[in-house]
């Protein structure tokens, strides 16, 4: 694949569970890189469930934390698009 879309939940507790040591967010990002996917897009979902709704601070917090992790596995966070979304 040319590109992978990694969806992370912005809800309190949900993001933390996914980015934890054995979380699926970490696992899926690592799998994508290991499989040779060089381009990554990160969709920050459930932005309507942040406090306050659509919190820019929460989005930036998630962007920073995910960016730090994906950098460790080999992605360049500067070339990764982070997109705030909500399916509500």
Kindly report, residue by residue over 7-61, the tens digit of the pLDDT.
Answer: 999 999 999 999 999 999 999 999 999 999 999 999 999 999 999 999 999 999 9
Domains present along the chain, CATH in parentheses: 3-84 (3.40.50.300)
From CA 47, how far away is CA 58, in angstroms rounded?
Answer: 9
**pLDDT at res. 1:** 76
* 22: Cα within 13 Å, side-chain hemisphere: 0
7-28 as b/e, with b when 16 or more CB fall inside 10 Å? bbbbbeeebeebbeeebebbee
**pLDDT at res. 41:** 99
**pLDDT at res. 88:** 76
């Amino acid at each position: 694949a040319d590109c992978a879309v990694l969806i992370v939940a912005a809800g309190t507790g949900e993001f933390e569970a996914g980015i934890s040591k054995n979380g699926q967010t970490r696992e899926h990002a690592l799998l994508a890189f290991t499989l040779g996917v060089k381009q990554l897009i990160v969709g920050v979902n459930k932005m309507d469930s942040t406090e306050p709704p659509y919190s820019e601070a929460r989005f930036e917090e998630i962007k920073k934390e995910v960016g730090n992790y994906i950098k460790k596995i080999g992605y360049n966070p500067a070339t990764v698009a982070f997109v705030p979304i909500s399916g509500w």
